[in-house]
Amino acid sequence: MLRRRVRWGAIVAALAALWALTGCSSVSYYAQAAHGQFSLLAQAKPLQDWIDDPATSSALKAKLQTVREIRRYAVTELDLPDNGSYRSYAQLDRPFVLWNVVAAPELSLQPKQWCFPIAGCVDYRGYYHLKDAQAYAETLKAEGYDVQVAGVPAYSTLGWFDDPVISTFIQYPDGELARLIFHELAHQTVYAPGDTSFNEGFAVAVEELGVERWLAARHDPEMVEAYHRFAARKREFLALLDKYRARLKENYDSHASDAQKRQCKAAIFAALRAEYAQIKASRWHGYAGYDRWFAMPLSNAHLALVGAYHDLVPAFRQLFARSSGFPDFYDKVRTLSRMAKAARHAALGDAPLSRGKADAEIFPPCTNGRPKDGRPAYHAG
């Protein structure tokens, strides 16, 4: 499952000022954000307290010890912040720490944005209670948006608070646990307000670079093999989504009528489901890790943020290859973060989503839900 994370803890610090500036609905939203954040912090206790507690299970103690090793490695080898984040643990009674609402127009992959103090504009809006997220999602659907409500296991407060380890992700395999912590600490290192793709691309690059080195340092072939299987499936999953994202964009950018675009859109999503089922059965031997994502009614909202997390990762990795190490890399990224958004993306070599002739031949343009030559519109091969 794609794990999206909110960077909005800074909003809470500005809550008092916002009450004087916003309407009732905004006050209610910021109030739930403040209450959720402070409730989380109130439940967090130092890792050592949990480890010393006889009531803590041996399995949880082992995981918390692993977190300490990951946290130490993040500071000493990756030059990530040495602060109070991920040095405490909170046990929650829910499967996710919060829920994201993502929205996109019916015939566009451009995500709706929400703008906040300090954090800037982001492509999602988070709620600490599922029912609140669902209620807000219904209002967006009534306005004609495609909407997704997705559970979030972790988020970063950008260093404004000491983010705890949470029960929502503590049971991840060790490689994934390290990946998540490196990612969230990267957001505390460099953050460009209002630029989701830049921030997420940087953090994903740091997590990948960090995990590669952390796994090598562990000298555990079984763990390395397990993570490589996970990473390979993830790459294939993302490539699948990217492929169909390109087809949807091509459809929405065409000169077809809205009715034709809707018909073609339905065919594209049906083909996406079919190809996923084929990959799962033939190459993943039944691995069901992404079934939850496909269990939801698919819409533009499900694909709107895929690029935000991954399109710029190759550019950041190339920038790292031209750096003398992590400190130099972070300095280069900070310099980019101070530029205007268009300038920083140009400097990274960002390019709009496009595909070559081979894909165009596999997926010919739709006309009334069918390609021009009359063959079935999309296939799962």
Note the pLDDT tens digit of each residue in 289-343.
999 999 888 999 999 888 778 889 999 999 999 999 999 999 999 999 999 999 9
Check: CB of residue 39 under 8 Å from CB of residue 143. no
Q: Measure the CA–CA gap between 191 and 5, rounded to whole angstroms.
A: 14
Question: Among 18, 333, 39, which Cα is nearest to 188's?
Answer: 333
- Answer whether residue 57 is part of any domain: no
What pLDDT is attached to residue 309? 83
Q: Measure the CA–CA gap between 241 and 284, rounded to whole angstroms.
A: 16
- Answer whether residue 178 is part of any domain: no
- Answer whether residue 134 is part of any domain: yes
Q: Measure the CA–CA gap between 93 and 267, rounded to whole angstroms.
A: 40
The domain in which residue 111 lies consists of 1-43+98-152
Q: How confident is the model over 6-23, as pLDDT tens digits? A: 444 444 444 433 333 334
- Answer whether residue 13 is part of any domain: yes
- Answer whether residue 64 is part of any domain: no
What pLDDT is attached to residue 305? 84
Question: Among 108, 378, 355, 365, which Cα is nearest to 260's?
Answer: 365
**Quick one: CA torsion of 338, 70, 326, 307, rounded to 10 degrees?**
-50
> What sign does the CA torsion over 264, 270, 272, 274 have?
negative
Q: Kindly state the DSSP code that residue 123 receives in the 8-state scheme.
A: S
- What integer is the mean pLDDT of 141-165? 94
End-to-end Cα spacing for the chain: 22
For the chain, percent of residues with pLDDT exceeding 70: 85
Give the containing element (helix H, strand E) for 247: helix 221-252
Instruction: List alpha helices for 126-195, DSSP H.
Output: 130-142, 174-189
Domains: count for the chain: 1
Listed range (108-112, 251-255, 303-307, 311-315) with the worst mean pLDDT:
303-307
Q: Model's pTM, two decimal places?
A: 0.84
Q: Which residues contact 375 (CB under 8 A, 6 or more apart)?
A: 364
- Answer whether residue 108 is part of any domain: yes
- Answer whether residue 313 is part of any domain: no
pLDDT at residue 229 above 60? yes
What pLDDT is attached to residue 25? 56
Check: CB of residue 166 under 8 Å from CB of residue 68. no
Listed range (22-26, 58-62, 63-67, 336-340) with the worst mean pLDDT:
22-26
- Average pLDDT score over the chain: 86
Report which residue type is found at 65: Q
- Answer whether residue 328 is part of any domain: no
SS3 category, 259: helix
